[in-house]
Chain A
């Protein structure tokens, strides 16, 4: 295989290493391709499809985060066809999940002139906040199913496998074994999932309690682990 590949991105010719993703090639060509599910340190599963671009001659749009460059490819990172998909995905996402605490998605909604009310009245992913441990809360009405938490809990980082999915399709949710409490699961409270969650669905408990208007002293009491206080230890 040739070491480099030359292709056109938005009319501009560019030569990149073979195997480069369209996302990275576009960045080198100075084009910004929006992403949601993609995360540098997680397996890319091409879920959100916000990064789709048009490759001339292809039947459907290509997800830039996983699609590789090919010799002679002609790529359009933002045309009407691409915008239609991106805008509709954003509108539908906004109609299903609470993305109010996801500033990047808010920005993307604006960039693509998405109508936030377009799918108003549709079924939403409503869920009660799960407050079952002293470390973090889970508010799955904010979940956009980016899979990052599942992946860092599993083979992308922690190899703990405490969480996976329940349901399928629109009804999918992130879940422990038979919805058991995280404290009964294999969770080691490493916090990696909280770190990669883009929407505030997973949130440190202290931050959440502050938002609920609790006093800092009460919060400390509520979130201290079950063990003895440090200064009481011998």
Chain B
């Protein structure tokens, strides 16, 4: 609802305080999100009031509003229609859907209809890539939107099918894909919280860490860091105040695994966090979920309340001396806030700028205190390991990559969805045997690992999916993305789309990425339009290597890996006037 001038004054006097639950700077983002929800935007007087109450400098409040894509300083519309423009959706007609909706409403993107009823925006990946093309209308997630029927999109009608959850192992996903979220009772009946009970009643924190180390679990958020080692260094860090942060910002294009885990098995995430808290000596956890996942946020909030009422969170939990609380936090539209130190800044109420490392989070993380930050999938592994023991966990997977892994299949594949497999199966097995093979043609390319990943081809189909084999093949496992492109797809457009994502999402802190993502997007834009210039390939390589080598954080360091892998695989894509003679242009 677009408020009138007078309603924002009323708002100032009567409604400003309820925005604010958390005192101090750290309450800033929650307060702004609340104000945004109430009014559809954050007016200058409301921002000033929030600044006054929280005692945050005005210019900093403005800086924060301006950083997050889903905070607006001007009125939006009653209904904001966001249509994903990232590759899985783009090849399924996302751009066409956006154009059709705009045409039917008679507006251009990012401007509201005259009556303030509607506004249409291109969105980065919504984590619904298995249901492409995807859209979000206010808080409603819409999958498989009918590209040719804009009226249905405007009316927020979804054709989404239930998510496909498959694979040859169902450990992490045993409760997923059933269409129901287990209640606390259902979770405990199914063995849930038994690992936490066992830990706090029978195991020392050191024993939990030892078990985790011998399980060989490494992080699933992209960096593949050994989880037990991370916990140990936080446990050994000096200071009584420590934090556990669950990174649920999942915004890597092509990734939707954490969303399904959170929506379908929220208690498992909480149990993993509580175990981390026990092992590391932390009393407080933050669960930071991207704003685009309101459904997951609701289910987690309900699960936190249930767990607290059931004695699985809170003071002296399960009769032990251990106390642990979890606070749910929402992002506000910024991929960079998935980078662990940017995430801390965001929780602290600042712009999501990554920090210079060292210091590392385990010594100085959230609020400058020792912090363990783990991905959702990583944490969901923990109850399995502590419950059944490291030896049982190691029965699956390989020596160097134990356990199972979630893969997010999207694009030109017969059955897009979430697949759990033991480490070591090949891409061919997942793609052909489980997901039904390539749809609409033959395999041209797989974007592997995410937008920050690299391209694979049919030549990689027999690479076993393990950290060690993928490293040899120069393919980053990333967040488990397998985005498939059949032979009819225009890879130049795909590259342009990826470059668009990074140019939009760069935080702008360091020069290589702030400038390089835009230059890369410009060059790939003309390559996609068939106007490549002589030397563009070399230009892309220089920009790419500079971002990789000199950027401050992982975003810039990986913003060109897809481009660089494409240059290696298909140099002809970047030749001037090359569009005329290659097949990859349809």
Q: A-side interface residues toward B, CB under 8 Å?
A: 36, 45-50, 52, 60-61, 63, 66, 81, 84-85, 87-89, 92-93, 95-96, 118-119, 122-123, 145, 154, 161-172, 175-178, 185-186
Contact = CB atoms under 8 A, between A and B. Distances in A.
Given A145-B508, A169-B506, A185-B59, A85 B351 contact: no
B59 A46 contact: no
Nearest to A89: B511
Contacts of A175: 59, 62-63, 66
B510 A49 contact: yes
A98 to B, nearest CB: 14
A169 B508 contact: yes
11 contacts: A45-B509, A48-B510, A52-B550, A88-B516, A92-B546, A154-B57, A165-B63, A166-B62, A167-B508, A169-B506, A176-B59
A47 B553 CA distance: 11
A220 B503 CA distance: 45
B543 A88 contact: yes
**5 nearest CB pairs, A to B:** A161-B57, A164-B63, A177-B58, A164-B59, A92-B515
B517 A170 contact: yes
Given A93-B515, A169-B503, A169-B517, A52 B67 contact: no
B549 A81 contact: yes
Interface centre among A48, A50, A88 (most CB of B within 10 A): A88
Nearest to A123: B518
A177 B62 contact: yes
What DSSP secondary structure best describes chain B's contact surface?
helix
A95 B516 CA distance: 11
Contacts of A118: 539
B356 A163 contact: no
B59 A92 contact: no
Contact of A168 (B66, B356, B549): B66
Given A163-B59, A172-B514, A49 B508 contact: no
A35 to B, nearest CB: 12
A79 to B, nearest CB: 12
Given A66-B356, A84-B542, A95-B519, A169 B514 contact: yes
Contacts of A47: 509-511, 552
Interface in B43-62: 44, 47-48, 51, 57-62
A122 B522 contact: yes
Contacts of B549: 52, 60-61, 81, 84-85
B129 interface: no
Given A45-B356, A177-B59, A177-B61, A145 B514 contact: yes
Contacts, number: 147
Contacts of B518: 96, 122-123, 169-170
Contact of A178 (B47, B508, B545): B47
B505 A169 contact: yes
Contact of B519 (A36, A45, A92): A92
B552 A49 contact: yes
A89 B60 contact: no
B87 interface: no
B59 A161 contact: yes
B504 interface: yes
B550 A186 contact: no
B32 interface: no
Contact of B551 (A36, A49, A123): A49
B512 interface: yes
A46 B510 CA distance: 7
Contacts of A95: 515, 519
B60 A170 contact: no
B128 interface: no
Given A92-B511, A92-B543, A161 B60 contact: yes
A164 B60 contact: yes
B297 interface: no
Contact of A49 (B48, B334, B511, B519): B511
A88 B58 contact: no
Contacts of B522: 122-123
B578 to A, nearest CB: 20
Contacts of A45: 356, 509
Contacts of A176: 59, 62
B348 to A, nearest CB: 14
A165 B67 contact: yes
Contacts of A61: 549-550
Contacts of A145: 508, 511, 514
B515 A60 contact: no
B507 interface: yes
Contacts of A119: 519, 539
B11 interface: no
B550 A89 contact: yes
B66 A166 contact: yes
B548 interface: yes
- Of B509, B514, B515, most A-chain CB atoms within 10 Å: B515
Contact of B59 (A93, A123, A162, A172): A162
B542 A46 contact: no
B557 interface: yes
A89 B62 CA distance: 29
Contact of B516 (A63, A81, A92, A162): A92
B514 to A, nearest CB: 6
Interface string B65-102: 01100000100000000000000000000000000000
Contacts of A46: 356, 510, 552
A48 B511 contact: yes
A106 B407 CA distance: 49
Given A92-B516, A92-B519, 20 more contacts: A45-B356, A47-B509, A48-B510, A63-B552, A85-B545, A88-B516, A89-B550, A92-B511, A92-B512, A93-B511, A96-B515, A122-B519, A161-B60, A164-B62, A164-B63, A165-B351, A166-B66, A169-B506, A186-B57, A186-B59
A171 B508 contact: yes
A89 B548 CA distance: 12
Contacts of B47: 177-178
